[in-house]
Amino acid sequence: METKEYLESVLSAQNLADDSAELKDLQARRAAVEQLIRDKYGSVPTIRYGGSKAKGTLIKESYDLDIVCYLPCDSNAAGDTLEDIYKSIRDCLAESYYVEEKTSALRIRSKEVTDYRRDFHIDVVPGRFTDEKKADCFIYQNGAEKCRRKTNLTVHIEHIRDSGVVDAIRLLKLWKTRRTIRTRQFAFELMIVKLLEGKKSKPLAEQLTDVWTEIKDSSGPIKVEDPANPNGNDLSGIVGDSWTVLCSAATSTLESIKQVGWETVFGAVSKVSGVSTAERAYRAAIAVNVPNRPWCDNA
């Protein structure tokens, strides 16, 4: 099988159809979360989709949904400060869910005894708009050195969705997931877009190898900036936290491809002449669950 067809098959296997059980459950849970918030705060907050679904980077093996919940700049319905808003939304969600506090988001999990702490793949991100335009907003930074971060959801979504390298982002996200590399996805995606600037027309395989090579050859963490606030949010530290692991994984991946081939990265996909796209996707779904070969470094 040609590399191009192989990578397309891996991507197909990672699609979630609109009528899939996973997406239906995600959408139903999203509606329930929004209703919970509306019951307490009425129509005051702006609630929108974010995360991989909005950006087009969703993969079956690791998907999520960000629900942003932003209060107007002049509203104190959830409190006076960003910390107040964060904690108020947390307490609201805690009425029905187990809530895990993250830096800017609140991860919800099941409270049911028979399904305790099941991950619903949903993060709720509280914040407050900076002005009446309802574009830029401030979000709370729980436990961080800076207590708030200025950002813009629309800019984030459009920057990734319209980057022209979404397929590369999805495959690299799968690679990162398989390697259990704990770099935050948002910063990871921004780094990929930066490294592939001017390379959108390259074949997908070359895009992937270019990213891994840039990581391998870099003398230190690659600088990443927030496109919504490039002068105020330097995200390099987020990438730097896992740079050693990221560099090691990129190096071993390039060597594995050179020595054995692409199947060491994403698993084997059988080539049978005349099979349909759906059948190839089904076979890919099985094949990519095969773990890396023993000689692959799983750093």
Show Cβ contacts of residue 282 under 8 Å, excluding neighbours closer than 6 positions.
13
Q: What is the pTM (predicted TM-score) of this model?
A: 0.83
Picking from 5, 60, 57, the residue whose alpha carbon sits closest to that of residue 286 is 60
Instruction: Write the pLDDT tens digit of every residue in 79-111.
Output: 999 999 999 999 999 999 999 999 899 999 999
Q: Which residues neighbour 225 within 8 Å (Cβ) at sequence distance 6 or greater?
A: 190, 233, 234, 235
pLDDT at 283 over 70: no
State the amino acid at position 236 in one-letter form.
Answer: S
Q: What are phi and psi of 49, to 5 degrees?
A: -75, 145
Distance, in Å, from the CA atom of 39 to the CA atom of 193, rounded to the nearest integer, reads 39
H or E stretch at 67: strand 65-71
Strand pairing class (148-151; 137-140): antiparallel
Residue 288 has pLDDT above 90, yes or no: no
- Measured CA to CA, the distance from residue 155 to residue 170 in angstroms comes to 19
If pLDDT is split at 50, 70 and 90, which confidence band does 184 have? confident
Distant-in-sequence, close-in-space partners of 10: CB < 8 Å, separation ≥ 6: 171, 174, 266, 267, 269, 284, 288
Strand partners, 48: 68
Share of the chain above pLDDT 90, in %: 66
Question: Lowest-confidence range among 69-73, 123-127, 147-151?
Answer: 147-151
CA pair distance 169, 185, nearest whole angstrom: 10
Whether the per-residue pLDDT at 276 is higher than 60: the answer is no
- Residue 108: DSSP 8-state: E
How far is it, in rounded angstroms, from Cα 88 to Cα 37?
10
Spell out the domain ranges in the chain: 3-16+161-287, 21-157
DSSP codes, 224-267:
-B-TTSTTT-B-HHHHHTTHHHHHHHHHHHHHHHHHT-THHHH-
The set of residues, in sequence order, having a beta carbon less than 8 Å from that of 242 and lying 6+ positions away, is 181, 182, 183
Alpha carbons 258 and 56: distance in angstroms, whole number: 30
> Under CATH, to which class is 3-16+161-287 assigned?
mainly alpha
- The pLDDT-based confidence of 199 (bands split at 50, 70, 90) is very high
pLDDT tens for residues 227-251?
988 877 767 777 778 899 999 999 9
- Quick one: pLDDT band at residue 48, thresholds 50, 70, 90? very high
Residue 293 binned pLDDT confidence (cut-offs 50, 70, 90):
very low
Give the whole-angstrom CA distance, residue 296 versus residue 299: 9
- Which fold is adopted by the domain 21-157? Beta Polymerase; domain 2 (3.30.460)
Under the banding of pLDDT at 50, 70 and 90, the label for residue 64 is confident
Q: Where are the beta strands (DSSP E) in 84-242?
A: 98-101, 106-109, 119-129, 137-140, 148-151
pLDDT, mean over the chain = 87
Instruction: Over range 266-276, report the average pLDDT.
Output: 54
Residue range 163-191: mean pLDDT, rounded = 94
- CA 280 to each of CA 130, 173, 257, 292: distance values in angstroms, whole numbers, following the listed order: 48, 21, 22, 20
Q: Are 145 and 139 in contact (CB under 8 A)?
A: no
